[in-house]
Amino acid sequence: MSAHAHTLEVSEAPTGFISKYIFSTDHKVIGIQYFLLGLTSVVIGVLLSVLMRIHLAWPAGKMPFLQGGIMTQAQYLSLVTMHGTLMAFFVLTTAPQSGFGNYFLPLQIGAPDMAFPHLNMLSFWMTFLGLVCLISAFFVPDGAPISGWTAYTPLSGIGQITGPGEGYGQTMWILSIACFCIGSLMGSLNFIATTIDMRAPGMSLFRMPLTCWGWFITAVLMLLAFAVLLAGAILLLLDRSLGTSFFLPAGIVVNDQLQHHAGGSPLLWQHLFWFFGHPEVYIAILPGLGVTSHVISTFCRKPIFGYREMVFANIAIGTLGFMVWGHHMFVSGMNPYSGFAFSLMTMSIGVPSAIKTFNWISTLWGSKIHFDTPMLFAIGFVSLFVSGGLSGLFLAQPAVDNLLHATYYVVAHFHLVMGVAALFGVFAATYFWFPKMFGRMMNPTLGKIHFWITFVGAYCIFMPMHFLGLVGGIRRYADYSAIAYLQPLRPLTMFVSIAAFVTAAAQLIFLFNFFWSLKHGAVAGKNPWKATTLEWTTDSPPPRDDFGGHDPSVYRGPYEFSVPGAREDFIPQNLEPAQVAREEQS
Amino acid sequence: MSTNLIEIDEQVALPGDGGPPAGGGSYDGGEGRPWRPSLPPQRTYTTGMLIAIFGSAMFFLALVSASVVHRGMPGSDWMPLRPPAVLWATSAIAIASSLTLMRSTSRLKSGHERSFSQWWTITAMLGLCFLGGQLFAFHQLEAEGLYLVSNPSVSFFYVFAVAHGLHLLGGVIALVWIELRPSARIPQGTATTVAALYWHFVTVLWLFLFAFFVIGG
């Protein structure tokens, strides 16, 4: 064996199944674990939404697996709660950030692992414990909670007496969220430390791929936001279990019984929740913004337009994200001056968002676009981000929000921008990095079919919801059949439901493609997309220490595509300037 | 020392260098291939601790601002809490423990292992004294008839004190752990620096929380 400049002391890679795949400290395995956790959650979450849509379309329809056959209003609300919680926490936070971030942050910055591998393992298992607690809420007496993913007090704070699911179910929900918070805090610590201290030589902050910037800023948001939610969750648990009154005012009468609480404030919970909850929106979307920028640049074979502006826009979005939580509480009777300030701040997020959109379009402009599946999802992301984001400007007006707050308009808004757009980011990332993670390509034809059905389907589901909201369709109602003014819109509700069924079914194509390609996909090679960043310079899948003992050095920025004078249309970040193949002088 | 040395491929792949496809391998990129356990640069432990302190500070900031908002809410029945006198003593112990810890780490830097160890142990003992004092304060509150649910101010006091106490207990465990089970991976200097950083944070945190109750409770 020859020893070169970077000779390193090594030990054997773990070979046992449990140390290799279950309690692994390898960031790649943990990334896949998070991804599979997100995948499991999204399957359950989508199934719950399908049940909701069935009930909305056919309120009197029988569901044989339910007690009594017909879904009760409480059961419907528990579906709303569990769908929201699963999706917001266990899908939109885990898959884009903890899943792909774990796998690719060290690879993209040229590190052999995360800064604290054992802590990383612990974060995953805390998150897993959180998921187990949440799912168990279905199986405790009286089932899952009905207070929504926001768990507004006093409904969530008193206990069994306020409704089915508010006993054990709500307690399990809070425990689940507390576990999730702790897992996320540990995870974010790891992401920040890794980004600050583990970068390869030459990988300055402004040479990091925009994906890494997305994960880094998201991690900072998570550190600040989940600490606050954890504090709120502990106080809520004390209100429920030890009889304190942090969130419960005096004089609450439930079922003719006066509750023995005094002096608390339900609005305090809303403040704590939304101080976390709004940054959570950006926690879900920032990794998607990064992936979209990265994929668009790669498949346009063009440097991203305005790299630095993209970074500063991300920072601005992250910073402003902490100053706008009040826009979720316009209808809480807040001081109009506060409302005005929150409104102004909210609308100002439109500026960095517009910068990003402008830069994506400018990158696309005049380039030779390669319409591979990841690129389709990235372009779809831009479309959904814009359509979903624009309605946010309307909702940012307190006067408009007063009218629309409780309607489907809000449901349509946040599903497009936070839900579907973020999921398109996850899909883009999956199709883009699958070859690196598993060494094989996903089937492009199936990928394109999946994209088009999902893209058209998402708009068919959520565009009509705006109209439903504008005419006063109240969200969270289990049954509209008795509301006379909504009857003309019955066909629209039916249409939304059918679109949801078709779109949900189309995800089976993705699942099939994913698992089929693991074994039967075309062999990918190191760099199937001819991309520039460091993860493409190592094997697919990468060895245990990412770069096989070869510490990469970085000589240039992440998006060196179509450089004039270079023979190839891409220059990897680790290629020494002298090794760049030049065009023959003629 | 392990004798396995990684053979490093010095050749850097040129862009577009076709080569045989490398994909489709087993998950660890080749059975039995040696890998390098990841050891972050020493400063990363300090970075990690600073980030943890930042997150923890945010947690307490949330609790403190919740108490401020709670007090200001219309309909709040907040009654100012006079902190038990023993808390002055525990605050003094907290300050003393940080001073002994500073003494300890400076002794380590100047190479006095034995003296370091003594001051380190004294710090851990002071930490335990602090926790005992806090428990006595809870006892005093109970004697005055002030329980967790008596008033929001008492509720918040208990939440602050217990959350802080758990943080300090973690600090004591860390001190004992470093003393009794020195890590083979992390040099003693790094471990003590990081633990000291945490300990001083927990001291400052307590002084802040205590001042908050003395001035505004």
Asked if residue A97 is part of any domain, the answer here is: yes
Flag whether B15 is in a domain: no
Distance from CA of B73 to the nearest CA of A (A): 7
Domain-located, residue B16: no
pLDDT of residue B40: 72
Q: Which positions ≥6 away from A238 have C-beta within 8 Å? A: A244, A246, B148, B155, B159
**Host domain of residue B118:** 43-73+84-216
> Within a domain: residue A175?
yes
- The verdict on residue A151 lying in a domain is yes
Transcribe B183-210 into DSSP letters. -SSS-HHHHHHHHHHHHHHHHHHHHHHH
> A-chain residues within 8 Å CB-CB of B23?
435, 439-440, 523-526, 539-541
Nearest to A197 among B22, B23, B41 (CB): B41
Helix (H, G, I), strand (E, B) or coil at A582: strand
Residue listed under structure tokens 């291939």: B33
Which of B7, B9, B31, B35 would best serve as a mutation to test chain A binding (most A beta carbons within 10 A)? B35
CA-CA distance, A223 to A186, in Å (whole number)?
8
Task: Kindly state whether residue B111 falls inside one of the protein's structural domains.
Answer: yes
Among A225, A249, A273, residue at a domain's last position = A249
Spell out which residues of chain A touch residue B1, defining contact as CB-CB under 8 Å. 9
pLDDT of B23 over the 50 cut:
no
B166 interfaces chain A, CB cutoff of 8 Å: no
Answer whether residue A108 is part of any domain. Answer: yes
List pLDDT tens digits, range B39-80: 677 889 999 999 999 999 999 999 999 999 888 887 778 888
Residues whose CB falls within 8 Å of the CB of residue A537, separated by 6 or more in sequence, listed in order: A526, A527, A547, A552, A572, A573, A574, B13
pLDDT at B217 (0 to 100): 61
Mean pLDDT for chain B overall: 83
Say if residues A173 and A151 touch (Cβ distance below 8 Å). Answer: yes
Is a pLDDT exceeding 80 seen at residue B105? yes
Is the ipTM here above 0.90? yes
Helix, coil or strand: residue A257: strand
A553 touches chain B (CB under 8 A): no
Contacting B residues, span 1-20, partner chain A, CB-CB under 8 Å: 1-2, 4-10, 12-16, 19
So what's the pLDDT on residue B78? 84
Cα–Cα separations (whole angstroms), residue A416 to A40, A325, A463, A513: 21, 19, 9, 24
Q: Check if the beta carbon of residue B195 is closer than 8 Å to that of residue B76.
A: no
Give the C-alpha separation, A403 to A395, whole Å.
9
Cβ burial, residue A485 (10 Å; 0-12/13-18/19+): exposed
Which residue reads 């509209």 in tokens?
Answer: A480
So what's the pLDDT on residue A138?
A: 95
Q: What angle do CA B89, B94, B99 make, to 5 degrees?
A: 120
Q: Which residues of B touch A123 (CB under 8 A)?
A: none
pLDDT at A65: 81
DSSP 8-state symbol, A98: I
Q: Please tell me the number of Cα atoms within 13 Å of B90 on its side-chain side.
A: 28
> Are A193 and B38 within 8 A, CB to CB?
no
- Residue B79 within a domain: no
**Quick check: B77 and A439 CB within 8 A?**
no
| Domain encompassing residue A185 | 29-249
User: Looking at residue B57, which CATH number applies to its domain?
Assistant: 1.20.120.80
User: What does the pLDDT average to over B112-134?
Assistant: 96
The verdict on a CB contact (< 8 Å) between A13 and B43 is no
Angle between helices B43-72 and A168-197 (to 10 degrees): 140
For B44, which of A115, A230, A540 is closest by C-beta distance? A115
Whether the per-residue pLDDT at B24 is higher than 90: the answer is: no
Q: Does the residue A12 lie in any domain? A: no
Task: Flag if A197 and B5 touch (Cβ within 8 Å).
Answer: no
Domain end point (choices A215, A249, A283): A249
Cβ partners under 8 Å of residue A464, min gap 6: A492, A495, A496
**Chain B contact present for A241, CB below 8 A:** no
Q: How is residue A228 written in tokens?
A: 């606050």
Chain B residue numbers touching A263 (CB-CB < 8 A)? 75-78, 151-152
Closest CA to B73 of A197, A100, A412, A265: A265
**Record: contact A197-B44, CB cut-off 8 A:** yes
Residue B33: pLDDT over 50: no
User: Using CB atoms, which residue from A242, A435, A581 is nearest to B149?
Assistant: A242
What is the number of domains present in chain A? 2
How far apart, in whole angstroms, are the C-alpha atoms of residue A282 and residue A325?
12
Show residues of chain A in contact with B164, CB under 8 Å: none
User: What is the rounded distance in angstroms from the CA atom of residue A390 to the CA atom of residue A398?
Assistant: 16
Give the model's pLDDT for residue A80: 97
- B residues 66..85 contacting A (CB < 8 A): 66, 69-70, 73, 75-78
Q: Is A446 on the interface with B (CB under 8 A)?
A: no
In whole angstroms, what is the distance from residue A533 CA to residue A530 CA? 9
Nearest residue on chain A to B59, alpha-carbon basis? A227
Chain A residues touching B163 at Cβ < 8 A:
234
- For chain A of 586 residues, list the mean pLDDT of each consecutive stretch of 10: 35 72 93 97 97 94 83 94 97 97 97 94 98 96 94 93 93 98 97 95 95 98 97 96 92 91 90 96 96 98 96 96 94 92 95 97 95 98 96 94 95 96 98 97 98 98 95 91 89 96 98 97 95 96 88 93 92 92 69
| Cα Rg of chain B (Å, integer) | 25
Determine the pLDDT at residue B181: 83
Residues 6+ apart with CB under 8 A from A301: A367, A368, A370, A561, A562, A569, A570
Choose the closest CB to B5 out of A3, A264, A543. Answer: A3
Calpha distance A74→A66 (Å, rounded): 12
Tell me the average pLDDT across B99-116. 94
Residues B173-202: tens digit of each pLDDT: 999 999 998 777 788 889 999 999 999 999
Interior angle at CA A440, CA B26 and CA B17, nearest 5: 95
Q: What pLDDT score was predicted for residue B6?
A: 35
User: How many residues would you count in chain A?
Assistant: 586
Residue A202 sits at the chain B interface (C-beta within 8 Å): no
Number of structural domains chain B divides into? 1
Hey, is the C-beta of A192 within 8 angstroms of any chain B C-beta?
yes
In-domain check, residue B158: yes
Q: Which residue has the tokens 């969130």?
A: A247
- The string of DSSP letters for A464-531 reads HHHHHHHTT-BTT-S--TT-GGGGGGHHHHHHHHHHHHHHHHHHHHHHHHHHHHHHHSPB--S-TT--
Helix, strand and coil content of chain A, in percent to the nearest 5, comes to 65, 5, 35
